[in-house]
Amino acid sequence: MSALAATPSRWARFLDSDVFASFRRSKLAMAALAVTVLFFALAIAAPWISPQNPYDPAELDLINSNLPPIWSAEGQAPFLIGTDDQGRDVLSAVFYGLRLSLVVGLLGVLVSGGLGLALGLIAGYFGGLVDTVIMRVADVQLTFPAILIALVVDGVAKAAAGGGLDTNATIGLIVVSIGLSFWVQYARTVRSSVMVEKNKDYVQAGRLIGLSSPVIMVRHVLPNVLGPVFVIATINLALAIITEATLSFLGTGLPETMPSLGTLIRTGNRFLFSGEWWIVAFPGLALAGLVLAINLLGDWLRDALNPKLQ
Amino acid sequence: MTEPVLSVRDLRVEFATRRGILKAIDGVSFDIARGEILGVVGESGAGKSVTGAAVIGLIDPPGRISGGEIRLGGERIDDLPPERLRRIRGRRIGMIFQDPLTSLNPLYRIGRQIIETVQTHTDLSARAARTRAIDLLAEVGIPAPERRIDGYPHEFSGGMRQRVVIALALAAEPELIIADEPTTALDVSVQAQIITLLKRLGRDHGTAVMLITHDMGVIAEAADRVAVMYSGRIAEIGPVRAVVGDPLHPYAKGLMGAIPTLTQETGRLAQIPGAMPRLTAIPAGCAFNPRCPKVFDRCRVERPDPIPVGGHRVACHLYDRAEVAA
Amino acid sequence: MSAPAPYVEVEGLRRLFDVSKPWLNRMIERQPKQWLKAVDGVAFTIERGETFALVGESGSGKSTVARMVVGLLPPSAGDVRITGVSMTDPAQNAARRRLRRRIQMVFQDPYASMNPRWRVGEIVAEPIRAFDLIRGEAAIADRVGELLTLVGLHPDDRVKYPHAFSGGQRQRIAIARALASEAEFLVGDEPTSALDVSVQAQILNLMRDLQDRLGLTYLFISHNLAVVRHMATRIGVMYLGRVVEIGGGRELFTHPKHPYTRMLLDAVPDIGLTGRQRTPVSGEIPNPIDPPPGCSFNPRCPFADDRCRAEVPALIDGVACHAYQEGRLT
C-alpha cells in the first residue's frame, strides 16, 4: 500500500512523541535507562562473561575461598572482586544472581500485572456486586504487608509439599507470592481508568454494533488503560526484586546452592564482621544500583505520561 | 473624544514549544470606551481567550507577550511587574469566567469572599463592607440577599453562582470587566438573564466590558461593537449591527451565513470549506486565504492591514482602494 | 385501509435512575432510596425519512430518550418499536438482532467517540466486520474508501489515526462509521454541539445531503433551537423529563403554545434579533431529583394556578398544559 508510506510508522511516531522528547530532555532518565540496560545485558550474558559457573560445585575450589578483591595484596586472578567461603567467584555469583533476581522480578510483575489487569478490567467494566467483591478483597489484601503475604504463601506451600521443593518450584513459588502481593495496585488503577473509558462514546458505539462485553473490553478498553499499567509495572519491578531479595535474605527464598542477590547478601552478611566485606558489599551494590535505576526510570515515565505535570 | 478605558495596540503573544514558536496573537489592536461592551468572537483557536488573558496579565510560560502595548485608562500595564499587575487585576479589572465554580472558593461563604474583595480595595469598615456586599448581591439579582450572603457556593444554582461571580467582579468597582464565555455553561433561559444583567451593569456603572464568546447570538444581543478574530488576528471590527447584519470580510460573511437562525428557514447553510489552520501551520499572507472564495494572488503573499470601510475596520485586500479601483 | 405504521413508535417511555447514597450510608442515616425520574411518559412517532428533533435544556432527559431509542439503555417502563419490532420484548430478540445494524448513533464528543488507538480504516470497518456484511480485505477496504468519500473525506485517510483530524472531520468519520452497517435510522445526540459554527454548518449540510441521497430517518437531539429549526420536520420540546409540546417545525416556532416553549424562544440569543427588547425570564430549572408537584414548569409559569400545582397535564393535541386546554393562555 503506497498510502501507508504517508503515515509515519509506530516507531517514527514514537520518536516524534512528547514522551520521547521528555526522555531526551531528562539526563537522569537517560542515565537510569543506560544502567538498567547494562544490568539486563550482564544478566543475559552471564554464562558467557562469568569467569566461573557459580552453580556448578565442580568448578568451586575451597583453596580459592575467601580471597579478597584483585586490587588488595592477596587478590588473585581471575577473581576480580574476590571469592566467598566456598571458593565461589563473587563477580560470577553477582552476574548469575542478577539473572535470577531479574527473572523472578519480571515473572512476578507479569503475574501480578496480569492478575491485577484482569480483575481491574472485570471490576471496572461490570461494576455492581462483582466490583464490590473484588475491591473488598483488594482492601483486605492491602491491610497485610506484601512481605507477610509472601511469607504465608511460601510457608503454606512448603508445608504442603513437605519441604522438598526443587529450585524451579521455589522460583515459581516466589513468583506466585509476589503476584498475590502486588496485584491490588494494578487492579485499582485499571478499575478507575476503565470506569472512565467505558462511559466514553466509542465503547457505546461498540455496543451499538452488537459487540459482546469481553470483545469490547479486550479490543477497545484494554489498549486505552495500559499507559498507567506500564508505569506501575516499572516501579513494581524494583519492588518485586526487593521482595525476592528480602525473602531470600530471610531464608525462605532461593537456596545457597543457587543464590540470587538476596541469598548472596544473606550469606555474605555472616562474614561482614570477620572482615570479608566484599562477599556482601558487591551483591548489595548491584541490588541497590539496579533498584535505583529502575525506580528512577519509573518515576520519569510516570511524570512523562501524566499530562497534568507538563 | 475621551480616552478609551482599554486600548490595545499591535498585541502579540507567543508560545514557545519544542516544535518552534507559535504566534497565538499576531498584531491585535482595539479600544473599549467607557460603558461599552466589546464582543470578541471567533472559533476555537482564534485567540480570543488569549487576548483576554493578555489584558489581565495572565499569560503563563511558555507563553509571553512579545510585542505591542496595553493601556488601561491611558496607563501602560503590559510591562508592569507582576506584583503591581496583581493589584490592578481585581481593583481595576474584574474577571468573569465560564465556570463560576473556579472563581469561588467552595469552603468560604460567598459573603466572606465579597466582603474581603470590598475591603481589599476600599477602606470601608467590616459592617459597611457587609452592607455593600448585600447591595451588590441585590444588584445582580440574588433574591433575599441578606440571607443568601451567608450561603456557600454549592448552595447556589449555576445561574445564581454566575451572578455571585459578577457581584464579586463588581465589588471593587473596576473600570473594565473581562468576561470569558460567561454564559456558555448556562442553560438558554439563564443565559438570557445573565446577558441582560451584563448589559445593564455596563450601562449603569459605566464599566467597559470585553465579552469573549464563540456564540454570535450572545454577541448580537449584548455587544455594542464586535471584533471577529481569525488565527490570532482581527478580521473585522465594527458596530454590532453592521458586522452581524452586513459583514464585509469574507470570513465574517461566511461565519454569519453558517449560523442557523430562528427567524429564517434556509435549505442549506452557507459553508466555509475546511477549518481554521492550526497555530503550527498559519499560511503566509492573509491567514484566511486557503478557505476564501474571493482569494487572489496578493492574499497569498501580503498580509492585509485593517482598512477603515464605513464604520468597520476590515483586514482584507478586497477593500483596499487600489484593488477597488482596479 | 389503515395508514402504514410509523417507522419509530415511542410509548409511555419512562426511565428512573438510582441516585441513592451507598447502602451503608443509607442504613446509618436512615434514608430511603432516592430515584431520579429522568424521563416520564414520553411518547412520539417518527415517520420514515423525516427528521424528528427533541429539544430541551440540561436535565430535560432528551439524551436519555435517545439512548433508550437505540437500545443502549433499557427503559423502566414503556416501549420503543422500530418498524414494529419492540426494543424491549425478549420474545422479539431475533428480529431485534436483525434490526440492530439499521439503527446507529452519532455522538456529541468527536474526541471520545472513536478508539484513539485505531486507524480510521479499522474504525469504519468495524461495523462491516461485526455484522459480516462484506468478506475479503480488499472488498472491505473499497467499501471503507467509498464511505469516507461519501462523507467528504479522502479514501487514503483510512490509514491515519483519529488525532490527525479536526473535530469536524472526526464527526464525518463517526457518520461514515454509522453508515458502514447500512443504517437507515440515525440518532444524533447533540452531534454538532462540540463544533465551531462554520464546521457545524458543514456537518448539518452533510447530514441533510445524506438524508436526501440515502432516505435516512433522523432523531436529532439538541439544546440549540436554531439548529433544530434548521434540521427538523417535527419537534418535541422537553422539560424535566416530559414532552411539553410537539409540533411541526414552522408551526412550533411561529405559534408556540406551551408557556415554556414561548419562554425558550424568547430567551435564546439569536443573530437575527440584534438589540431586541426581551421579556424578562425568571427562575431556573428545578432539581430533577425533587421536582415540583403537578406541572413541573408551574413555579416559573405566569399562568400557573392551583390545578397546575397539583395535577400533571397530559399531552393533548400536542400540548401538555392545563392553561392551554382551558383557554387561559393569552
pLDDT tens, C67-95? Answer: 999 999 999 999 999 999 998 888 888 89
- Cα separation, B104 vs C129, whole angstroms: 51
The answer to whether B188 contacts C225, with C-beta atoms less than 8 Å apart, is yes
- How much of chain C, in percent, has pLDDT values that exceed 70? 96
**pLDDT score of A4:** 42
Q: Are C297 and C239 within 8 A, CB to CB?
A: yes
Task: State the DSSP code for B281.
Answer: G
Of C168, C271, C282, the CB nearest to B259: C271
Residues 170-199 on C with a CB inside 8 Å of B are 196-199
pLDDT per residue as tens digits for the range C186-219: 999 999 988 888 899 999 999 999 999 999 999 9
Provide mean pLDDT across the span A37-53: 85
- Cα separation, A188 vs A171, whole angstroms: 27
The answer to whether C131 contacts A4, with C-beta atoms less than 8 Å apart, is no
Q: Residue A65: pLDDT above 60?
A: yes
Chains contacting C (3 or more CB pairs within 8 Å): A, B
Task: State the DSSP code for C20.
Answer: P
Q: Residue A213: pLDDT above 90?
A: no
Burial class of A137 by CB neighbour count within 10 A (0 to 12, 13 to 18, 19+): middle
| Distances, alpha carbon B182 to alpha carbons B6, B195, B230, C168, in Å | 20, 9, 21, 25
The answer to whether C112 contacts A1, with C-beta atoms less than 8 Å apart, is no
**Which of B98-129 are b and which e, b meaning 16 or more Cβ less than 10 Å from the residue's Cβ?**
bebbebbeeeebbbbbbbbbbbebeeeeeeeb
In the sheet where B6-17 sits, what is the strand order? Answer: B20-32, B6-17, B63-72, B75-76
- How much of chain A, in percent, has pLDDT values that exceed 70? 93
- Cα separation, B173 vs B170, whole angstroms: 5
Per-residue pLDDT band for C2 (boundaries 50, 70, 90) equals low
- Coil, helix or strand for C200? helix
| Distances, alpha carbon B8 to alpha carbons B25, B68, B74, B78, in Å | 12, 8, 10, 10
DSSP conformation letters of B247-265: --SHHHHHHHHHS--SS--
Residue tagged 448581591 (cell numbers): B137
For A305, the grid coordinates are 505520561
**pLDDT score of A149:** 80
Q: What residues of chain C have any CB closer than 8 angstroms to a CB in chain A?
A: 70-72, 97, 100-101, 103-105, 107-109, 112-117, 119, 126-127, 130-131, 156, 158-161, 174, 177, 181
Provide mean pLDDT across the span C216-227: 93
Q: Residue A3: pLDDT above 60?
A: no
- Cα separation, A23 vs A302, whole angstroms: 12
- Cα separation, C6 vs C228, whole angstroms: 21
Q: Residue A96: pLDDT above 60?
A: yes
Burial class of C154 by CB neighbour count within 10 A (0 to 12, 13 to 18, 19+): exposed
Contacts of C158 in chain A (CB under 8 A): 3
| Distances, alpha carbon A170 to alpha carbons A175, A255, A257, A287, in Å | 9, 9, 13, 20
Round the average pLDDT of chain A to a whole number and report it.
82
Q: Residue C118: pLDDT above 60?
A: yes
Q: Residue A88: pLDDT above 50?
A: yes
For C198, the grid coordinates are 462554520
Residue C11 β-bridge partners: C79
Is C271 at the interface with chain B, CB within 8 A? yes
pLDDT per residue as tens digits for the range B239-261: 998 998 899 999 999 998 888 88
CA distance A127 to chain C (A): 14
CA distance B324 to chain C (A): 28
DSSP conformation letters of chain A: --GGGGSPPHHHHHHTSHHHHHHHH-HHHHHHHHHHHHHHHHHHHHHHH-SS-TT-GGG--GGGTTPPPTTSTT--TT-TT-B-TT--BHHHHHHHHHHHHHHHHHHHHHHHHHHHHHHHHHHHHH-HHHHHHHHHHHHHHHTS-HHHHHHHHHHHHHHHHTT---HHHHHHHHHHHHHHHHHHHHHHHHHHHHHHHTTSHHHHHHHHTT--HHHHIIIIIHHHHHHHHHHHHHHHHHHHHHHHHHHHHHTSSS-TTS--HHHHHHHHHTTTTTT-THHHHHHHHHHHHHHHHHHHHHHHHHHHH-GGG-
- Cα separation, A67 vs A86, whole angstroms: 10
Residue A230 β-bridge partners: none
Q: Are C105 and C186 within 8 A, CB to CB?
A: yes
pLDDT per residue as tens digits for the range C236-267: 999 999 999 999 988 898 899 999 999 888 88
For residue A16, give every residue at least 6 positions away whose Cβ sits within 8 Å of its Cβ, in sequence order, or none: A8
**pLDDT score of B122:** 80
Q: Are C110 and C189 within 8 A, CB to CB?
A: no
B281, amino acid identity: A
In the sheet where C8-18 sits, what is the strand order? Answer: C35-46, C8-18, C77-82, C85-86
ipTM, two decimals, is: 0.83
**pLDDT score of C236:** 96
Residue B21 β-bridge partners: B16
Residue B314 β-bridge partners: B236, B307
CA dihedral (C164, C166, C171, C172) positive or negative: negative
Is C57 at the interface with chain B, CB within 8 A? yes
Is B196 at the interface with chain C, CB within 8 A? yes
Q: Are A251 and A266 within 8 A, CB to CB?
A: yes
CA distance A155 to chain C (A): 37
CA distance A14 to chain C (A): 13
Q: Are C308 and C294 within 8 A, CB to CB?
A: yes
| Distances, alpha carbon C61 to alpha carbons A196, A202, C80, in Å | 22, 21, 16
Q: Are A220 and A226 within 8 A, CB to CB?
A: no
pLDDT per residue as tens digits for the range C28-69: 888 888 888 899 999 999 999 999 999 998 888 999 999 999
**Which of C114-139 are b and which e, b meaning 16 or more Cβ less than 10 Å from the residue's Cβ?**
bbeebbbbbbbbbbbebbebbeeeee
**pLDDT score of C12:** 93
For B113, the grid coordinates are 469572599
**pLDDT score of C274:** 53
Chains contacting B (3 or more CB pairs within 8 Å): C
- Cα separation, C107 vs C111, whole angstroms: 10
Dihedral angle of Cα A134, A135, A136, A139, to the nearest 10 degrees: 130
Q: Residue C88: in which H helix or E strand, if any?
A: none
CA distance B227 to chain C (A): 15
pLDDT per residue as tens digits for the range B61-109: 888 999 999 999 988 998 888 888 888 887 889 888 888 777 888 888 8
Burial class of A128 by CB neighbour count within 10 A (0 to 12, 13 to 18, 19+): exposed
- Coil, helix or strand for C235? strand
HSE toward the beta carbon, residue A302, CA cutoff 13 A: 12
Mutate to test the interface with C, among A16, A17, A193, A202 (most CBs of C within 10 A): A202
Per-residue pLDDT band for A307 (boundaries 50, 70, 90) equals low
Q: Are B187 and C284 within 8 A, CB to CB?
A: yes
Round the average pLDDT of chain B to a whole number and report it.
88
The answer to whether A209 contacts C97, with C-beta atoms less than 8 Å apart, is no
* Cα end-to-end span (Å), chain C: 41
CA distance A27 to chain C (A): 30
Q: Residue B313: pLDDT above 70?
A: yes
For C192, the grid coordinates are 454538532
Q: Residue B203: pLDDT above 60?
A: yes
Contacts of C116 in chain A (CB under 8 A): 224
- Cα separation, C268 vs B192, whole angstroms: 7
Report phi then psi at C74, rounded to 5: -75, 140
**pLDDT score of A1:** 37
Contacts of B241 in chain C (CB under 8 A): 274-275
C248: alpha, beta or left? (left if phi > 0; alpha if psi -120 to 50):
beta
Provide mean pLDDT across the span C315-328: 91
Q: Residue C176: pLDDT above 70?
A: yes
Instruction: Please give the angle made by the CA atoms of C301, C307 and C309, to the nearest 5 degrees.
Output: 55
For B71, the grid coordinates are 493601556
Per-residue pLDDT band for A51 (boundaries 50, 70, 90) equals confident
Q: Residue A308: pLDDT above 50?
A: no
Contacts of B240 in chain C (CB under 8 A): 274-275
Q: Residue C269: pLDDT above 90?
A: no
Report phi then psi at C309, rounded to 5: -85, -10
Q: The whole model's pTM is what?
A: 0.84
Q: Are A243 and A57 within 8 A, CB to CB?
A: no
The answer to whether C159 contacts A200, with C-beta atoms less than 8 Å apart, is no
pLDDT per residue as tens digits for the range A154-197: 788 777 776 666 777 888 888 888 888 889 999 999 999 999 88
**pLDDT score of A14:** 72
Q: Are B187 and C285 within 8 A, CB to CB?
A: yes
Q: Residue B175: pLDDT above 70?
A: yes
> Among all residues of chain A, which has the CA nearest to that of C178?
A205
Round the average pLDDT of chain C to a whole number and report it.
89
Name which of A283-287, B85-89, C268-272 the model is least confident about: C268-272
Mutate to test the interface with C, among A2, A13, A135, A201 (most CBs of C within 10 A): A201
The answer to whether A208 contacts C117, with C-beta atoms less than 8 Å apart, is no
- How much of chain A, in percent, has pLDDT values that exceed 90? 11
Q: Residue A5: pLDDT above 50?
A: no
| Distances, alpha carbon B214 to alpha carbons A67, A134, B48, C195, C267, in Å | 79, 46, 9, 10, 18
Contacts of A4 in chain C (CB under 8 A): 159
For C126, the grid coordinates are 468495524
**pLDDT score of A163:** 60
Provide mean pLDDT across the span C5-24: 87
The answer to whether C116 contacts A224, with C-beta atoms less than 8 Å apart, is yes
**pLDDT score of A25:** 79
Chains contacting A (3 or more CB pairs within 8 Å): C
Per-residue pLDDT band for B178 (boundaries 50, 70, 90) equals very high
CA distance B217 to chain C (A): 4
